Amino acid sequence: MKAYKLVLIICLVFCALPIHAQELAILKYNGGGDWYSNPTALPNLIRYCNLTINTNLKEKVEAVEVGSSSLFQYPFLHMTGHGNVVFSTEEAENLRTYLLAGGFLHIDDNYGMRPYLEKEISKVFPNTQLEELGVDHPIFKQNFKFSEGLPKIHEHDGKRPQAFGITYENRLVLLFTFESDLGDGWEDSSVHNDPAEVREKALQMGANIISYAFKN
pLDDT in tens, 157-180: 778 999 999 999 999 999 999 999
- What pLDDT is stored for residue 47 in this prediction? 96
Give the span between the Cα atoms of 199 and 203, in whole angstroms: 6
By residue range, what is the domain housing residue 171? 2-215
**Backbone phi, psi, residue 77, to 5°:** -120, 140
- What pLDDT is stored for residue 7 in this prediction? 44
Identify which has the larger pLDDT, 97 or 21: 97
Share of the chain above pLDDT 90, in %: 76
- What pLDDT is stored for residue 157 in this prediction? 73
Query: Can you say whether the dihedral through the CA atoms of 148, 151, 152, 157 is positive or negative?
Result: negative
| Chain centroid, CA 182 distance in Å | 11
H/E run at residue 4: helix 2-16
Q: Calculate mean pLDDT across residues 51-75.
A: 95
Instruction: Report the residue count for the chain.
Output: 216
Identify which has the larger pLDDT, 207 or 154: 207
Burial of 136 (0-12, 13-18, 19+ CB in 10 A): exposed
Average pLDDT, the chain: 89
Cβ neighbours of residue 77 closer than 8 Å, sequence gap 6 or more: 24, 25, 26, 27, 64, 71, 98, 103, 104, 105, 106
CATH at 210: 3.40.50.12140
Split into its structural domains, the chain has a count of: 1
- What pLDDT is stored for residue 192 in this prediction? 67
Banded pLDDT at 193 (limits 50, 70, 90):
confident
Checking if the pLDDT of 67 tops 90, the result is yes
Give the span between the Cα atoms of 105 and 46, in whole angstroms: 16
- What pLDDT is stored for residue 4 in this prediction? 38
Residue 197 identity? E
